[in-house]
Structure 1
Amino acid sequence: MFTGIIEATGTLSSLTLVDGDLSVRVQSDNLDMSDVALGDSIATNGVCLTVTEKFSDGFSADVSKETLSLTRFAHYQRGQRVNLEKALQPISRLGGHLVSGHVDGIAEVVKVSPNARAIDYWLAAPEALMKYIPYKGSVCIDGASLTVNEIDGNQFKLTIVPHTLAQTTIAEFQVGTLVNLEVDQIARYLERLIQGAQAPKAESTVTESLLVQAGFIK
């Protein structure tokens, strides 16, 4: 479990195909690894990854086919900058909102404009996810907990203040940038409770054609 408050940024220093899925090495000069153990979780651009190897300047982790199908990891390349957050501890302040690190889909930046010292970003999300994104609600974008300031159809606006721009990779966003999106999990739980036995059964989005397109199957 995470808060969406970014602790550091890092770089994907290697991405290696291993039997159909991906092994990644994340390097960071400003993420404190002293209290991280093998098996711990670290949110990497909003994706919950399990530490398989630990280094003084970062960690290695495996990325499954399911994660590759739902996130931007299938398209990342060596040198990609990522936002990092270690798992929430019971004594931590919950400065953002409860984030699971389980990405729901991909959103696209469609407009960027200045707003005094802040910057407004309009993002387009899959229509099926918009019902979970309310005005003044919380979303997680590439691991960062952010507040929705306006909604228009399948688009929503985020106003990013200078501190967040300086501490995350959001300042690099431009029109056309694709990002990992996690909606507020409380909204999903409420929907499931209301639907009860009428809730549709979940179906996997992992397909062979998708994995071929991403280069994980030849």
Structure 2
Amino acid sequence: MFTGIVEELGRIVRVPSPGRAGQLEIAATRVLAGTNVGDSIAVNGVCLTATTVSAAGFTADVMPQTLAHSNLGALRAGSPVNLERAMAADGRFGGHIVSGHIDGTGTIRRIRRDQNAVRFAIEAPASIMALIVQRGSVAIDGISLTVAELAADAFEVSIIPHTIEQTTLSHRKPGDAVNLENDVVGKYVQRLLHGVCTTPAEREAANASASPSPLSLSYLSAHGF
């Protein structure tokens, strides 16, 4: 488990052939402390397993499934990546619960300055938007962020200068693909409401055909909540 607080901006040293599964080699320093082969490190929000660890960095395998559901396939030598070690049991919970299991990718629609902050508008598939909540949490490339505005097919986050400087967001531009992970609490609630819908395609179909939820203030009050 991760918290969405990026520890370090690493650099890609080597990638598999474009579109092919294989091994990533990543230059890093801070996340190497206490890291052993077999440990989990989030790379742009994707939970990967360290297969080798050296003084200069680590390697991790990426599968076809990972490439199909994330932006890791677009990485090239020199690309910056957000890195976070798995949370220690006695660690500080600075962000929100992040599993490192990407729900899909979104596209940066717009970036604009808002006084001392920068606002990113992210266009996302309906299956992801269904679980985006105003003022709720979302992980973008592994960064724990709060939803500032919500539209039918996009949402906005407002980002402080420190986060911009310490993450890949300082390198992002409109049109770039970003990894998105919905709040895990919302995913469990959706599963309870829609039963066996487990894949993005199933959730999108269920959301399109679902009747209005019976949940309301009066319903909850009548059932003791």
Q: TM-score, normalising length from structure 1?
A: 0.87
Number of the residue aligned with 1:8: 8
SS at structure 1 position matched to 2:15: strand
Larger displacement relative to structure 2 (31-40 or 147-156): 31-40
1:200 aligns with 2:191: no
Question: Quick one: distance in 1 between partners of 2:135 and 2:113?
Answer: 20
Aligned to 1:51: 50
**Residue 80 of structure 2: aligned partner:** 81
Q: Map residues 99-178 of structure 1 onto 2, 5 A cutoff.
A: 99-178=98-177
- Cα deviation for residue 203 of structure 1 reads 8.4
Q: Structure 1 residues 84 and 32, CA, compared in 2 at 3 Å: closer, same or farther?
A: closer
CA contact (8 A) 2:111 2:121 kept: yes
Structure 1 residues 131, 201: CA separation in 2 closer, same or farther (over 3 Å shift)?
Answer: closer
> CA offset at residue 57 of structure 1?
2.1
Aligned residue runs from structure 1 range 62-101, under 5 A: 62-101=61-100
Matching residue's letter, 1:8: E
Q: Spell out, residue by residue over 1:14-33, the C-alpha distance to the aligned partner (whole angstroms, 9 max, x if none).
A: 0135xx5220101024x241
User: How far apart, CA to CA, are the structure 1 residues paired with 2:36 and 2:199?
Assistant: 33
- CA shift, 1:200, in A, is 3.4
Give deviations 1:10-57, integer Å, cap 9, x for gaps.
11100135xx5220101024x241300110000000000000000112
Residues 16 and 149 from structure 1, CA distance in 2 versus in 1: closer, same or farther, beyond 3 angstroms? same
What amino acid is aligned across from residue 200 of structure 1 in structure 2? C
Mapped partners of 1:178, 1:53: distance in 2:
28
- Calculate percent identity across the aligned residue pairs: 38
Could you tell me whether the CA contact under 8 Å between 2:149 and 2:156 is conserved in 1?
yes
How far does residue 201 in structure 1 lie from its aligned partner after superposition? Answer: 5.8
How far does residue 58 in structure 1 lie from its aligned partner after superposition? 1.3
Change beyond 3 A, Cα 1:46–1:124: same
Q: For the Cα contact (< 8 Å) 2:191–2:197, is it kept in 1?
A: no
Structure 1 unmatched runs, 5+:
205-218
Unaligned runs of 5+ in 2: 202-225
Give per-residue Cα distances to partners, 1:78-122, cap 9 Å, x unaligned.
Answer: 111100000001111111000000111111111111111111111
Q: Return closer, same or farther for 1:94/1:42 CA change in 2, 3 Å cut-off.
A: same
Amino acid at match of 2:7: E
Tell me which structure has the larger Cα radius of gyration: 2
What is the match of residue 60 of structure 2?
61
Cα distance between partner residues in 2 of 1:161 and 1:168: 11
Identify the residue that residue 42 of structure 1 maps to in structure 2.
Answer: 41
Q: Distance in 2 between matches of 1:80 and 1:22?
A: 17
